[in-house]
Structure 1
Amino acid sequence: MLGPADVRRLAEELDIRPTKKLGQNFVHDPNTVRRIVASASVTADDVVLEVGPGLGSLTLALLPAAGAVTAVEIDPVLAARLPRTAAEFAPGLADRLTVIEADALRVSAADFPAPPTALVANLPYNVAVPVVLHLLAELPSLRHGLVMVQSEVADRMAAKPGSRVYGVPSAKAAWYADVRRAGPVPRKVFWPVPNVDSGLVSFERVEPPSTAPRAEVFRVVDAAFAQRRKTLRAALSGWAGSAARAEEVLRAAGVDPSIRGEQLEIADFARIAEAAATESGR
């Protein structure tokens, strides 16, 4: 495990100065990374995908628990150092680690030597939601996971219909998985100390609620929340072509046109997309 002194030494060796652009905040508390791995329920049957491993604190905790770990790191300096760090701190387990130097927003299933089954990561705050949604879409092999994100982002990802923070991230994440909050993370475990709180989010893959094309369902979600204070009849008018057409589709889907998008589950959005396709085909 990497303690505070190890993190500082590695950062100095590599001349690393954490940047806001890459959302870099390195965990230096061994107890925190042990807690993350335990909460993620990683087993020897898992091929774990770690995004943004940084200096390797979480990586070193994952190696003894997982069958294999594939780390995706966008920073070439950090990507080059990570295998050496694993060999230094966990020499008997270093062969379980594969490092891919890439942008996690652009990876696909073909980039991985083995299909990842679990996502465990301290995600850069500025791209956390897009990364999770992209990976769930691109990697159907991902069955479960636990990610550390900004606390407000964690709330939005795990929010349920009716919550004031329920929105596009909540609805889209629900297409892929059952998403839940899994506890807070104190600021003091990071270097540098961030000026925001962090939280853990867990997920378990579920079957999509509909056979409707995901892209069409997500278009409905985006339209419904683009003007979230408006009724669905008004919010979906641009998507449908007119308010009257939106009302027609909503009623065909069994959805009250006078309510707002924040009251709908992902299955409701899917029914709207299905109804629109049916109405268009007539």
Structure 2
Amino acid sequence: MASSHGPKKSLGQHWLKDPEILADIAEAAELTGDDVVLEIGPGLGTLTSRLLARANSVTAVEFDADLARKLPGQFPGKKLTVVNQDILQFDLNQLPKNYKVVANVPYYITSKIVEKLMTAENKPSIAVLLVQKEVAERIAAEAGNMSVLSVSVQIFAEAELDIEVPRQFFTPPPKVDSQVVVLRTRNNPLITPEDQRDFFRIVKAGFSAKRKKLRSSLSGGLGIDKG
């Protein structure tokens, strides 16, 4: 039985089984019977079952080979494709346009997953991500509290905080609380593709040293005279 599979600390696995929270996460994706969903890290399939009940089909990318092998047998007759692969190596172009992402994201690769989704040629129309609460707040930060992460995401998507999930709802409990962040991809990025490289150079330079004055930080990052 898949439920007997113990979470692997090395993979950042924490099982979420609360039915109300799982239903809230699935609902946040605004799924219809026409939607194709990419689920990242389906684990035991507790969220997968909710997604299959609402969407047309689910592609579940699971890095853990044991879980990937067991998952299809839990949903016979359902439109479920299980891929045993690192999500960072998965080709998003094989999915149809306007697919949706739902994921209980391992904390240790959150930033890399967000970057992959937001910079992909084939971006999801919406991504519902359960992440570390602090990271969710950083992603959805408003002007005055923004970081490189929030700027980098919000160039491509509108970010909105959703439900909080206290650590005790996971098995085993992580050391921090989690929160759902919903990313709705913009039809047109706030910065045009041809200007993005220079824009992100400036952004990264501006945030590179919090204790330095902005002018000094920009000068160092861009290689210009402070004069």
Q: TM-score, normalised by structure 2?
A: 0.91
Q: Deviations over 1:16-46 (max 9, x none)?
A: 3323331110111122111111122111222
* Aligned: 1:10 with 2:2: yes
* Alignment-derived partner of residue 263 in structure 1: none
How many angstroms apart in 2 are the aligned matches of 1:243 and 1:157? 32
Secondary structure (helix, strand or coil) at the match of 1:49 reads strand
My pick for the range that moved more, 58-67 or 29-38, is 29-38
Q: How does 1:116-131 map to 2 (within 5 A)?
A: 117-131=99-113
Q: How does 1:24-43 map to 2 (within 5 A)?
A: 24-43=13-32
How many angstroms apart in 1 are the aligned matches of 2:17 and 2:72? 18
Task: Pick the structure with greater CA Rg.
Answer: 1
* Alignment-derived partner of residue 65 in structure 2: 76
Q: Deviations over 1:135-162 (max 9, x none)?
A: 2212534111211011111111111121
How many residues matched?
225
Structure 1 runs (4+) greater than 6 angstroms displaced: none
* Alignment-derived partner of residue 176 in structure 1: 156
Q: Deviations over 1:241-275 (max 9, x none)?
A: 13438xxxxxxxxxxxxxxxxxxxxxxxxxxxxxx
* Alignment RMSD (CA, Å): 1.9
Answer whether contact 1:109 1:115 (CA < 8 A) is retained.
no
Distance 1:191 1:130, change over 3 A: same
% of aligned pairs identical? 38
Distance 1:47 1:227, change over 3 A: same
Aligned with residue 57 of structure 1, among 46, 52, 77 = 46
Higher RCO (C-alpha under 8 Å, 6+ residues apart): 2
Unaligned runs of 5+ in 1: 1-8, 246-282
How many angstroms apart in 1 are the aligned matches of 2:139 and 2:95? 29
Unaligned runs of 5+ in 2: none
How many angstroms apart in 2 are the aligned matches of 1:120 and 1:47? 11
Answer whether contact 1:227 1:235 (CA < 8 A) is retained.
yes
* Alignment-derived partner of residue 81 in structure 2: 98
Distance 1:139 1:76, change over 3 A: farther
Aligned letter for 1:209? L
Q: How does 1:1-282 map to 2 (within 5 A)?
A: 10-12=2-4, 16-87=5-76, 91=77, 94=78, 96-110=79-93, 112-115=94-97, 117-163=99-145, 166-206=146-186, 207-211=188-192, 212-244=194-226
How many angstroms apart in 2 are the aligned matches of 1:125 and 1:133? 14
Bigger share in strand: 2
How many angstroms apart in 2 are the aligned matches of 1:243 and 1:24? 48
